[in-house]
């Protein structure tokens, strides 16, 4: 697994991503969704497994699910599972908070 620094610190991440929302991250040729929930930061693929909408345009609910803005399917940020199993799982990525920043791990 290769680790990519996406923020210099947690404070910078908190300034960039509002609570219960998400942003688009581009790492190499991957488009990822980085979401903020009260449990921390989570990273998933940005492309909704249902019909391809950008999940980083969605909102995060109190259950820790990202809600797709197109058809409102809800995916667990931790496990990638759609809450009613209406489509296949969303890929999730490891996030680490270290002294020198916030990192995302992507398998080679």
Give the footprint of ligand FES on this chain (CB under 6 A). Answer: 48, 50-53, 68, 70-71, 73
Phi, then psi, of 96 in degrees rounded to 5? -125, 135
Task: Kindly state the smallest distance separating residue 46's Cβ from ligand FES, in Å.
Answer: 11
Quote the CA–CA distance of 47 and 13 in Å, as a whole number: 22
Q: For residue 66, what are the CA distances in angstroms to 48, 58, 95? A: 10, 6, 16
Is 10 or 53 the residue whose CB approaches ligand FES more closely? Answer: 53
Task: Kindly state the smallest distance separating residue 102's Cβ from ligand FES, in Å.
Answer: 26
Is 53 or 89 the residue whose CB approaches ligand FES more closely? Answer: 53
Task: Kindly state the smallest distance separating residue 68's Cβ from ligand FES, in Å.
Answer: 3
Contacts of 96 (CB under 8 A, 6+ apart): 3, 102, 103, 105
């Amino acid at each position: 697994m290769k680790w990519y620094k996406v923020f210099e610190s947690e404070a910078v991440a908190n300034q960039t991503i509002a609570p219960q929302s998400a942003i688009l991250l581009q790492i190499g040729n991957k488009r990822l969704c980085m979401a903020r929930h009260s449990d921390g930061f989570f990273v998933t693929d940005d492309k909704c497994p249902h019909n391809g909408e950008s999940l980083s345009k969605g909102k995060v609910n109190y259950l820790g699910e990202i809600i797709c803005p197109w058809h409102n399917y809800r995916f667990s940020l931790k496990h990638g599972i759609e809450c009613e199993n209406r489509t296949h799982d969303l890929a999730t990525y490891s996030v680490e908070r270290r002294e020198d920043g916030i990192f995302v791990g992507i398998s080679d």
